[in-house]
Amino acid sequence: MDDERWSPAEVDLVTPNTARIYDYLLGGKDNYAADREVAEQLLAVIPEARIAARENQAFVGRAVRHLAREGVRQFIDIGCKLPARGNVHEVVVEVAPASTVVFADGDPVVLAHARALLARTARAAVVQCDPKSPEAVTGDPQVRALIDFEQPVAVVLDRVLHFLDDTAEAAAAVRRLHAALAPGSHLVFTHITQDPEPESGSDVGKVFKPTAGHFWGRSRAEIEEIVGSFDLLEPGLTYTSLWRPDLSASRVAHPERTFTLAGVGHRP
């Protein structure tokens, strides 16, 4: 694959990047040799990694579509990764074209691609933030200029919480986010878990060691602790493919092999 294509000048193409690795697993083209090498090593350890990526994206789509149908009109996608087809904005505007969507990330390549994609898109914006402090986004002046925090907001933390290495600190960050949101707001989240195969954790850790992002797979109980300030909608905390699946979609034979737990929390 040709790597001599457009890329922002400040982007490091040598160090593997978790957003670009995810893009490769989804079949995207915004990735480079270093990213593909790590992705192939991951597939050697977890052969279902491509299925896991697709099911993760499909879950986020179903969740935000559900919330848009329920009347939510403001969305903040934190740690949004590369804006692949079926991103939060595309899904939301299919249901409610007048919705406002803010993408927030700290990765230069994500920011550059998101800004290019959304340059002429109405009611969508891209802001720089630190995904490891998701609660801080609610105080960002750019975000507050676009989002009315007196009204319900849906915050998407897709594959963000497992980059916070301390479970208690992650739970505290989510509590602060909960406190900043109006009643009727929601949290859409995914989190990697090692429950199906605890022994694979060290091998996956070695695969991702060259990247700039290091994550921690957690148990179901630990993830429930982190998001405990929100009331989970049915079916609660479950594997991505099992959260209100589309009846027309093909079933995943072993949902636990997605290694990703997900849910939608409600702020009463």
Domain ranges of the chain: 49-203+215-266
Q: Decide if pLDDT at 210 tops 80.
A: no
Task: Please work out, in degrees rounded to the nearest 5, the angle formed at the alpha carbon of residue 126 by the alpha carbons of 110 and 26.
Answer: 35
Q: What is the pLDDT of residue 201?
A: 61
Listed residue (215, 214, 218, 213) closest to 237, CA to CA: 218
Q: Decide if pLDDT at 2 tops 60.
A: no
Q: What is the pLDDT of residue 116?
A: 79
Q: Write the pLDDT tens digit of every residue in 9-19.
A: 556 778 888 88
Token representation of residue 53: 């990526």
Question: Among the ranges 135-144, 206-215, 229-238, which has the highest mean pLDDT value?
Answer: 229-238
d(CA 205, CA 103): 28
Question: What does DSSP assign to residue 241?
Answer: G
Check residues 207 and 47 and name the one with the higher pLDDT: 47
d(CA 227, CA 223): 6
Q: Decide if pLDDT at 6 tops 60.
A: no
Q: What percent of the chain has pLDDT over 70?
A: 91
Check residues 54 and 215 and name the one with the higher pLDDT: 54
The residue-averaged pLDDT of 219-232 equals: 97
Q: What is the pLDDT of residue 1?
A: 44
Q: What is the pLDDT of residue 155?
A: 98
Token representation of residue 253: 């034979």
Q: What is the pLDDT of residue 213?
A: 65
Q: Which of 15-19, 31-35, 166-170, 236-240 has the lowest mean pLDDT?
A: 15-19
Listed residue (81, 78, 130, 72) closest to 102, CA to CA: 78
pTM of the model: 0.91
Residue 103 DSSP SS3: strand
Q: How confident is the model at residue 4 (pLDDT cuts 50, 70, 90)?
A: very low
Q: Identity (one letter) of the amino acid at 56?
A: N
Q: Write the pLDDT tens digit of every residue in 89-129.
A: 889 999 999 999 999 998 887 888 788 777 777 788 899 98
CB environment 112-146: b (16+ within 10 A), e (fewer): bbbeebbeeeebbbbbebebbebbbbbebeebeeb
Q: How confident is the model at residue 189 (pLDDT cuts 50, 70, 90)?
A: very high
Which DSSP helix (H) or strand (E) runs through 48?
none
Would you say 254 and 74 are in contact if contact means Cβ atoms under 8 Å apart? no
Q: What is the pLDDT of residue 262?
A: 98
Q: Decide if pLDDT at 255 tops 80.
A: yes
Check residues 7 and 160 and name the one with the higher pLDDT: 160
Q: What is the pLDDT of residue 11?
A: 65
Q: Identity (one letter) of the amino acid at 43?
A: L
Q: Decide if pLDDT at 46 tops 70.
A: yes
Beta bridge partners of 190: 262
Q: What percent of the chain has pLDDT over 90?
A: 60
Find out if CATH 3.40.50.300 is the number for domain 49-203+215-266.
no
Q: Decide if pLDDT at 204 tops 80.
A: no
Which DSSP helix (H) or strand (E) runs through 239?
strand 238-239
d(CA 73, CA 77): 13
d(CA 176, CA 190): 18
